[in-house]
Structure formats: structure tokens, C-alpha cells
Amino acid sequence: VLESQRKIQARDLLLQLDRSRRAPVSRQLEEQMRGAIRSGALVADEQLPSTRVLAEDLGVSRGVILRVYGQLAAEGYICLRQGAAPTVRAGGLDTRTLPPRNGGGIVYDLRPHLPDVASFPRQPWLRAVRESLAHARVADLGYSDPAGLWDLRVAVANYLSRTRGVTAHPAQTLITAGSTHSLSLLSRVLARRGDRRMAFENPSHRILRAVASMGGQTVVRAAIDESGVRPDTIDQAESLVVSPAHQFPTGVVLAPQRRTALVDWAQQAEALILEDDYSAEFRYDGVPTGALQSLAPDHVVYLGSTGKTFAPALRLGWMVLPEALMDEVSRELACNMLHVSGLDQLAFARFLQCGDFDRHLRRMRQVYGARRSFITGLLAELLPGHEVRGIAGGLHIVLGMPSHSTAASVRLEAQALGIGIDSIDQHSFADSAGPAGLVIGYGALPEPTLEQALGKLVEVIRRYEEMHQG
Ligand SMILES: Cc1ncc(COP(=O)(O)O)c(C=O)c1O
């Protein structure tokens, strides 16, 4: 037990149940506890009362408390462990387990979110910066339109309809600082108009779920299988975040019949689909799938980013919105004054217009395709008993593991040796669902370094298996 841990009594939580309110008791408790963690009244590592104690103190059934704790754990606010008291996580996000952004202590970076920034096209980018600045109008250097520079919105809308089949009008195409920023804006806008239940695939990126929750959303889960998300499992959500082209982290693609079923769900439930078209540009087997957005532009918000395709450091992405959301989202962007630098937007518009972005993508597709073949070949040879999962696309593969706890132990051991890696359980809701595995990114490292890193990882896996045999 950490010294800083303080055991919270039920009365310390100052929970108040108003039985005259229409909101169910569990919803009231959930809101108050979430509020206490967000405001800092409950801080990281504090122990919460057991379900039995809290249920007795509040005069409610234990099932109610189980539901409340389950939901808060799914949103990342609290941590549940078998046989131990629940504890509070930092600010709803367990910052102790978030990957260090700068890769502190990591020698071999196999984390799935990293593209090969060493291949950043410095010379073409410098040319775009120089030329765009030389041609910039004086007005371009003043305050820019919060929705993005018009020239860039036109260039992005053209790029999306050309490469992803998105129905994109420049007036409905907004520039943001990337998909995380777009999701944060949408979460706040939807919450303000009363749409507060956002479904995420289980598993799905834990940081995105935390961002939605910080934006006022109650995060609920949707199950997935080898055909992608199952709309029949979405429990009363007003929106759903989904990555149809390449599900993160499992690497499956949303099957054609599921696409139709998902659109039917959105239309019937009058819900919104947030399509995270994450790393869709990278498909190495020649079977690209178009964006879901084109099937129902009024029910889908399309989210895109240069974070994987170019460089995360640029912080530049986009959203294509249904017309009905335009005003509210533009107002939210205008009010938070957090737009991408107009100078970077000018440079990226030029980079797109002169074909340099397409050239860069073509080159990177070859690089990543070769790396993927290399790593799948190597793993088949070194670990023949472990399945490699995920389509030939994106920047990571999933290496099958016998259980989520094995995968988590291997990940921690690998990290202790300086190998940065993810596992499926990190991105699952509280009860890890579906097949277990390690999520191995191959984007950031060239083949010789990948070979060294995988060699060390395989040693960790073999050692673990030997120790736990029988
Ligand atoms: C599943 C998923 N979606 C989207 C993103 C992109 O985020 P951003 O555009 O904010 O860099 C990431 C980055 O790690 C991701 O893993």
C-alpha cells in the first residue's frame, strides 16, 4: 500500500441521493463521483469504500454500486482489482500508465502510434514553407478563420473525396489540431446539447475514451468481433466512435454488411457515428476500403489527421461535418482559440496542392509494407505458435497471446528492458474482452533495428513461457 493512500469513508464522499429526481440513483452517484474526481476532491490512489460498505451507507442495493463502479472503471476514473479496494486514478486518466510521449527510457520503440518521423520529407516541406510564406497575403498573417484557412479546406476536401471517397464540401471541412482535438471538440458540443452517451469499441484507444469523458461524455462500450463493431451491442448511445478502415488496436476491418448495419443503427437511433479514419492511407495489399462517411454524410462525422501520415508534431487534422453540426462546432472552435497556426496551414495547403503529400504517402506505403512483411516473416519463424493478427495495413500488428494477463506481464517485462510496446488489455474496458495480444508497432524503426528489438522481445516471451509452463 502506497504511503500516500488514504482510505475514504463513505461519508467523506458527500454523496447525496435525490430520490425525487427522475435520474436513476446509479446515474446520480456516477455523476457525483465523476465530478469529485475531475474537480480533484478525490485524488489519485485514494481508496474508495467497498461496494458492500457504500451500498449499506447509502441504503441502496449492492448491484447499484457495482454498476456505478463498473462504469467509472470503464471510463478510466477508477481502478478495480479482484480482492482489493477500488482506487481513484489520476484525473480520470491513469497518467502512470500512459505512454511517455517522448518515449522516456525507451531504447526500442515498438509502440503502435508512431510513424517513421525519421523519414519526414524535410526538403519538400521546407520548400512548401518558403513558397507559401513568400506568396502569403498580408491578411493571411492576421487572425485566421477558426474553422481553418479556406485554401486548405478546399485542398483537404479535394484530397478526401479523391483518396477516401468522402463526400466533402470545403464549407463543411474544418481544420483541427488532429483527431484527438476533433474528438474533444465534438464531445463537448454533443454533451452541451444533451447527447452525453458516447459508445466506443471494446477494445479501443484508451486515450480517446479519456478525452471523451473529460469532454462530458459517459463512455459506454460496443462489442467487436472479426467483422468489426456489432451495432446490436450498443446500449442507448447517442454517438459511436469507430475506426472502420483499421480498428485500433485489433487491426480488423469493418465488413461490408456491418457498414450497412451501422448506418441503419445511426439512422434508426438518430445517432451520430464519429469515423476515426485512422491510418487508412496505409493499406499494403491493394484492397483499400472507402470511408464509411460516404454512405450517410448526415449521420457521420469524418475525422482525419496527419499524425500518422506525416508527423505528429505538426498537430494538423480535419473533420468533415454534417451540416446540422456546423454552427455549434465552429463556435466551439472559435471560443477555445486553439487553432492550428495559419502559417502551418498555408504550408500544408501548398504541400498538398503540389502533389508532395501524395508522393510522401506513396513512398511511406512502400516503406511500411516492407516492414510489415519483414516483421510478420520474422515472428512466424521465431514464434511459430503465436498467431499474427490484423490486416495488411496501418502501422502495427497484433501478436496473439494465451491470456490478457500474460500479455500484460510480457509488456511490463519488455518495458523494463527498454522495449516500448502496448497490449490489448491496456485498451480494453475494465473486463478485458476478446482475444489477448501484444500490439507491436513497426512504423518507427528500420528493419535492422526492428530485428534487434524483436529478438529481445522474443527472448522475453520465451523466458516467460518457460517459467509458466505446466
Ligand atoms: C486510434 C487512433 N486514432 C487517432 C489517433 C490520432 O490522433 P492525433 O490526430 O490527435 O495525433 C491515434 C494516435 O495515436 C490513434 O491511435
pLDDT in tens, 306-332: 999 999 999 999 999 999 999 999 999
Q: Is the CB of 305 under 6 A from ligand 1?
A: yes
Q: Is the pLDDT of residue 4 over 60?
A: no
Q: Is the CB of 276 under 6 A from ligand 1?
A: yes
Q: Is the pLDDT of residue 6 over 60?
A: no
**100 band by pLDDT with thresholds 50, 70 and 90:** very low
Q: Is the pLDDT of residue 101 over 70?
A: no
| CA proximity to 292, closest of 280, 282, 283, 284 | 280
Q: Is the CB of 307 under 6 A from ligand 1?
A: yes
**Structure pTM?**
0.80
Q: Are 51 and 62 in contact (CB under 8 A)?
A: yes
- Best of 204, 305, 315 for a ligand 1 pocket test (most atoms within 8 Å of beta carbon): 305
If DSSP codes are grouped into helix, strand and coil, which group holds residue 78?
A: strand
For ligand 1, the distance from its centroid to the CA atom of residue 277, given in whole angstroms, is: 9
- pLDDT: which is higher, 393 or 58: 393
**235 band by pLDDT with thresholds 50, 70 and 90:** confident
Instruction: Give the mean model confidence (pLDDT) for residues 191-195.
Output: 96
Q: Is the pLDDT of residue 276 over 60?
A: yes
**103 band by pLDDT with thresholds 50, 70 and 90:** low
If DSSP codes are grouped into helix, strand and coil, which group holds residue 399?
A: strand
Q: Is the CB of 179 under 6 A from ligand 1?
A: yes
Q: Are 239 and 273 in contact (CB under 8 A)?
A: yes
DSSP 279-330: TTT-BSSS-----GGGG-TTTEEEEEESTTTT-GGG--EEEE--GGGHHHHH
For ligand 1, the distance from its centroid to the CA atom of residue 72, given in whole angstroms, is: 23
Task: Report the atom number in ligand 1 closest to the C-alpha of 243.
Answer: 1
What is the number of other CB atoms lying within 10 angstroms of the CB of residue 24?
A: 11
**93 band by pLDDT with thresholds 50, 70 and 90:** very low
Q: Are 352 and 344 in contact (CB under 8 A)?
A: no
- Best of 101, 113, 242 for a ligand 1 pocket test (most atoms within 8 Å of beta carbon): 113
Q: What residue's CA is closest to ligand 1, atom 6?
A: 179
Please tell me the distance from the alpha carbon of residue 104 to that of residue 116, in angstroms, as a whole number: 18
For ligand 1, the distance from its centroid to the CA atom of residue 306, given in whole angstroms, is: 9
Q: Is the CB of 317 under 6 A from ligand 1?
A: yes
**143 band by pLDDT with thresholds 50, 70 and 90:** confident
Task: Report the atom number in ligand 1 closest to the C-alpha of 248.
Answer: 1
**39 band by pLDDT with thresholds 50, 70 and 90:** low
For ligand 1, the distance from its centroid to the CA atom of residue 324, given in whole angstroms, is: 25
Residue 98's pLDDT is 45
Residue 407's pLDDT is 95
Q: Is the pLDDT of residue 59 over 90?
A: no
For ligand 1, the distance from its centroid to the CA atom of residue 278, given in whole angstroms, is: 7
What is the number of other CB atoms lying within 10 angstroms of the CB of residue 159?
A: 19
Average per-residue pLDDT in the chain? 90
